[in-house]
Amino acid sequence: MSTSGGILDALIGFRHGNPFILDGQTIIRLAVAGVVVPIVTLFFWFTVSWASSPLRKYPGPFLAGYTNLWRLYQVRTGKYHLAIQKLHEKYGPVVRIGPNLLDLDYPELSKVIYGTDGKWRKTEFYHNNSALVNGKITYHMFSTTDQTEHAQMKRPIVKHFSLGSVLALEPHYDRVLGELIQQLDTRFLKASNTTCDLGEWIAFYAWDLITSVTFSKSFGYMTHGHDFDTSISTADKSLDYFAAVGQIPFLDFLLDKNPLVRIGPPNLSNVANIAMTSLVARTQGLDNYNPAVPDYLQHFIDAKSTHPDTVHDGMVFGYLLVNLLAGADTTAITIRAIFYYALKNPTIYSRLVNEIRSVGIDKSNAFPYSQARHLPYLEAVVREALRFHPAVAMPLERYVPAEGFTLPSGDFVPGGCAVGINPYIGNRTKAVWGADAEEFKPERWLQDVSGGESDEEYKKRMQKWNACDLSFGAGSRICLGRNLALVETYKVVATILNRYEIELADREKEWETVNSWFWRQKGVEVRLKARE
């Protein structure tokens, strides 16, 4: 009897006179048909795609050439960047990490791959960062891969992220910094023996700050002293989903966008609700908005009038969500890295503190950005933290344009293949950053006067490094919020170090990190003392 005959028999069960009872042999046949056949077909399909792929000649783990499951697994370990770094040490600057994806350790190619012409399109990796609205998948500015749609979304609001516009929001920053100081004083100075999880407080500060500049009111994490509405932990889980499912984009249609039953990721409904409630309250004039100090909600609403053809309520909502989800954790990661590495290294810590204290700002006040911005060592520490611990530590995937591309090695990559530079990998390339690239060393960002570096040489080195540093991405899809983040970072580091003496509760203890697109950290436990 043929297999198909067996299946038919099994389905209608006539051999037993009972349509619902299957014998052992039939079950085996069903298993063969239902499990083995698809596996063999998939294996055959993978082998044909592997053998015919134009990327076949590039080195990498054998399994990665077959299936994206390899990189999905690496992402789930939380140590993805380390696995890829090892592969580059073994194979050189080009490693095949997926059937159609090359990871490149050529930071000098940033200007080409991440150009301003938008010819290198984002891949579908980004697509699951989207929502179903009235049954239609809608993307926002970060996740759209369509460059025309992206330009339409960006044009109406980009000017509000310039440094000048961000500085108009400084009163919001100062208010949130005032609350941070007050909470740290009350909770950790007065109760003198209590250690402070500074890493956690930086997250509370960053979330309260982004909600303040967006809605003119904090969510209230600092007031509560914990993640009271679980938005922070839910955002982490939703990034775990984004990073993993992005490796095999069609999984999103089985999970989050499943038309029958939605399986994941964790719902961001509390963040979405707050965005929606605030939007409605503002349009009805029910919140306490003070037009003298603008905020992003108002800028986004105004964009509907200035760009009525492109900006609608759904887009305003998308702008708000991106502000919250891209703006808080990234900045917290950077600030945490600054404190951790400075506190681990007494020489860096005292040089930084001395520079900040020398300005003579009253320690009860928030540090003005205009003063903090002109402290060269603070700038060096900020830049080194961004280089050494980039908030995004996975490849920024792009499609090679139709005409293809020749790598510095002379190898050709045809159009339609995907490539990416991972900021973690590119920011530690010894050929660019020097033999000590694996050290946290802020001095590298200063002019090496004692080593005889001339003004001209220093300028050239900085130009090269600026072009290679991918911490904020580059080109047409460069981070929109970088000015917002830098003002926040300079101000909080200067304010805190101006006011407190800080030491790690346990100098030997290492923090824990997890890489899930955002490379987040846990555990910067400190003791705080008021400065005399």
Query: What DSSP line would sit under 377-421, residue for residue?
Result: HHHHHHHHHHHHS-SB-S-EEEEPPTT-EE-TTS-EE-TT-EEEE
Q: Is 169 helix (H, G, I), strand (E, B) or coil?
A: coil
Q: How far is the CB of 27 from ligand HEM (least distance, A)?
A: 49
Q: How far is the CB of 485 from ligand HEM (least distance, A)?
A: 4
Build a one-symbol-per-residue string for 469-488: x at contacts with ligand HEM by CB under 6 A, - elsewhere: --xxx---x-xxx--xx---
Residue of 203, 342, 391, 419 interacting with ligand HEM (CB under 6 A): 391
CA dist 512 and 166 (Å) reads 32
Beta bridge partners of 131: 138
Q: How far is the CB of 99 from ligand HEM (least distance, A)?
A: 21
Q: Please confirm whether the linkage preceding 265 is cis (ω < 30° from 0).
A: yes
Nearest residue (CB) to ligand HEM, 400 versus 485: 485
Q: Is 64 helix (H, G, I), strand (E, B) or coil?
A: helix
Query: What DSSP line would sit under 466-525, residue for residue?
Result: HHH--TT--GGGS-TTHHHHHHHHHHHHHHHHHHEEEEESSTTPPPEEEEESEEEEE--E
Nearest residue (CB) to ligand HEM, 143 versus 183: 143
Nearest residue (CB) to ligand HEM, 64 versus 338: 338
Nearest residue (CB) to ligand HEM, 154 versus 363: 154
Q: Which stretch binds ligand HEM (CB under 6 A): 97-105, 327-335, 351-359, 401-409?
A: 327-335
Build a one-symbol-per-residue string for 410-449: x at contacts with ligand HEM by CB under 6 A, - elsewhere: ----------------------------------------
Q: Does 294 bind ligand HEM (CB under 6 A)?
A: no
Residue of 93, 107, 294, 327 interacting with ligand HEM (CB under 6 A): 327
Build a one-symbol-per-residue string for 330-349: x at contacts with ligand HEM by CB under 6 A, - elsewhere: xx--x---------------
479 is in an annotated binding site: yes
Q: Does 141 bind ligand HEM (CB under 6 A)?
A: yes
CA distances (Å), origin 448, targets 265, 441, 445, 458, 468? 49, 13, 9, 8, 20
Q: Does 245 bind ligand HEM (CB under 6 A)?
A: no
Q: Cα 8 to chain center, whole Å?
A: 52
CA dist 516 and 303 (Å) reads 33
Q: What contacts 354, CB < 8 A, 6 or more positions away?
A: none
Q: What contacts 521, CB < 8 A, 6 or more positions away?
A: 199, 333, 336, 337, 340, 389, 511, 512, 513
Q: Which positions make up the binding site? A: 479
Residue ranges binding ligand HEM (CB under 6 A): 141-142, 154, 322-323, 326-327, 330-331, 334, 391-392, 396, 471-473, 477, 479-481, 484-485
Q: Which positions make up the binding site for heme? A: 479
